[in-house]
Amino acid sequence: MPGDLRNRKNQVPTEDYQDLPTSDHFPTQLAIQEHYADRAGKHHDVRILQGDKAVSFAVPKGLPAAGEKRLAIRQPDHTPDYMTWQGEIPKGQYGAGRVSLHDKQEVVTKTAPDRVYLNIPKGPNKGNYVFIKTDGQHNWLIARRPDMDRAWTEREKYKETPSPSDSDSDFIATEKLDGANFIAKLTPQGISFTSQRRDKAGNFIGREDNLPHLRDIEIPKELQGIELRGELWHPSGFNRLSGILNSAPPKAVASQAIEGSVRFAPFRLLGVNGKATGMTPDQEYAALKGITQLLNSPHVNMPQQSNTNESPNDFYNRIVASGGEGIILRNRNTGDFLKKKSRVDHDLKIVGFTPGEGKYKGNGIGAIVVADRTGRVVGNVGSGIDDETRRAMHSNPMSFMGNLIKVKSQPALVDKLRSPEYLGMTTDKDEPDELLPRVQKLASLKQDSRAAQKLPMRAADLNGYKLQIMIADTPEKCTRGLMFNRSLRENQGMLFVSEKPGIMPFWMANTPLALDLIYLDGDMLVTEIIHDMKPVSGAGSAAAKIYENTKPASYALEVLSGAADNMGIRVGDKLQLK
C-alpha cells in the first residue's frame, strides 16, 4: 500500500503544499486517476511527477476541451508510488472512496510558482494544458490551449546549378542548411510547424510539440498570422534532427536537453493568413530580418548570407569548407530559386530489412531495403545507421515499413544505388523520389528526337588554348549532353557539372562523334583523361560502354577525339572560364 494511504489524516496538512520551482520544459510521468470520493464526488486527480513527489490537482469536471477553462484544486503532494495505485480508500480517511487509473504516460511539463504547463502527447486527453494559480494554495484553473492554426503550400522547385549564369548582383545568396523544410505559422498561441506529411486521416502532421522552445515563443500582435517557410535544423546534423522530429515529444525534449536544441531558419515570407505579400525578393528578405528581430529568440535566425562583394562560387566554397551542405540562390528579378549542393541525396521508401550479422545478429537489422516512387527496389542501405535505430527497426519493423528515409549516394549507373549512406528518417515529405539512373534516363530519350542540344557558348582557356564551351549545369542538360550532335570544332566542347565530387559516368549512346573526356576537380584542375570514346548510335545504344573516372571529379569536359593530345593537355592543367 502506498505510504500516502498509511499516513492519511482527516485534515489536509498545509506543509504538503510547496511552491513549484521555475523550470524549463522537461519529460516526466503523468497519471490521471478517476476518484469516486464519498465527500467530494466523482473527479479526476491529475498527478505530475516532479523529483521525489507527485504534484497533484483535483479537477471536478475532468480535463477541459480545447479553449475551455475549468476549476482545479491543488492537493497535497503525494509520494510517487501513489500515482499508479488503484483501489478503495477506507472510510474515515481523507479522500475515502474508489480510485481507478484513467491514464498514465510520459509527458512534457514546465513549472513556475503560479503556472504548470503540460503537454499530453497521445490518447483521449492529448493536448496542451496550463494550470494557473488564482488564489492562495488551493484555487487554480486548468485550461486547454486551442489547437494551433497551421498552413501549408507546395514547395518551389529548385534547379541545380554550378554557378549563376547572370551577374552576381542578380542573386541573393544564402546558405542551404542540412535540415527539413517546414512552414511556420505565427499564431496567438505560439508557432506551429507543418510539413507536407499527413496522418492516416489526411491531416497535416505538426511537430511543434517536439519543439516547445520554439512553439512557445511569444508572438507580438503585429506578427500574428504571418506564414514563413524555412528549415528546421540541428547543429549536429540531419540525423540528429530526424531523431528529434520523429520521436514522441518527451523523448525529443530529453534529447535536446542533452544534445542541444533544434533551430529554425526562415528564408521565405509566404504571406499573412493565406494572402501573399506581393513583395520583391529584396523586400521579402528585409521583412524577414525585421520579423526575426521581433521574435527575439536565439533559436530563430535567418540562414547565413554571402558577404558584400563575395561571388556566389566563393560563398559556396566557404560554406562547403566549413562543413555546410551548399547554397541557395534567389534571382532578385524573377524570384526563382537555384541551389548548389555538395552531395546527392534521395528520399526513398522502406520496403524491408536484411538480418543483422556479427554484433547485430538477433538484436539489430543489417540493412534497410528501399524503393523509389515507381516501387522499384533500388538497393540496400547499411552504412550510417546508428545502433539505436538498428535495434528499433529490428524490434518493431512494421512501424517503419512504408516510411521514408533520406539516403546519400553516388550517382546511379544502371538500376541500383551506389555507395548509399543512411542520413535519417525523412521528416518533411511523404512521397519518395524517383531514382532514374543515368543510363536509364539516356535510354528513355525518344529515338525520333534527333535534334542536338543547343546551349549558349562560353569562352574558356585550357593550357593556353582558347575554347568555346557549352555548360550542362542541370540533370536534364547533362543527360542529353552531345547526343545527336554531328558538328563540333576542335576548339569547342561541353562542360558537365556534377552535383558533388564523385564518380561521373558517361556513355556514347546516340552520339555520332568520337570524343575525348577530360575530368577536373573542384578547382577545375585536370585529374585524368579518357581518349577516343567511340560513337554509338541506333540499336547499339542500349549496350553502349560506360566510361567513368577513377578519382573524384566535379566537372568533365567533352571535346573532339584527338583534341586533348593536340592541345597538349596534361593532369594538373587548369580550365578557366571567362
- Give the amino acid at 578: K
Closest C-alpha to 173, from 32, 314, 344: 314
**Which residues are within 8 A (CB) of 268 and not within 5 positions of it... i.e. 6 or more apart?**
228, 229, 230, 284, 288
What is the full DSSP assignment across 199-257?
-TTSPEEE-GGG-HHHHTPPPPGGGTTEEEEEEEE-TT-HHHHHHHHTS-HHHHHHHHH
| Residue 333 CB coordination number (10 Å) | 10
83: phi then psi, degrees, rounded to nearest 5: -60, -35
Report, as ranges of residue numbers, the positions in the chain whose pLDDT lies below 50. Answer: 8-15, 165-166, 413-414, 438-448, 539, 541-542
Instruction: Residues 444-577: name the CATH superfamily.
Output: Protein of unknown function DUF192 (2.60.120.1140)
| DSSP symbol at 443 | H
Q: What sections of 430-489 are H helices per DSSP?
A: 438-444, 475-480
Under a CB-based contact definition with an 8 Å cutoff, are residues 58 and 45 in contact?
A: yes
Topology (CATH) of 159-341: D-amino Acid Aminotransferase; Chain A, domain 1 (3.30.470)
User: In the CATH hierarchy, which top-level class contains the domain 345-434?
Assistant: mainly beta
First to last CA, the chain: 85
Under a CB-based contact definition with an 8 Å cutoff, are residues 217 and 262 in contact?
A: no
Separation CA 162–CA 360 (nearest Å): 42
What integer pLDDT is reported at residue 151 of this predicted model? 83
| Residue 155 in grid coordinates | 514547395
Closest C-alpha to 349, from 325, 328, 320, 379: 379
Residue spans of the domains in the chain: they are 3-144, 159-341, 345-434, 444-577
| Residue 365 CB coordination number (10 Å) | 23
**Which residues are within 8 A (CB) of 467 and not within 5 positions of it... i.e. 6 or more apart?**
459, 460, 461, 491, 492, 493, 559
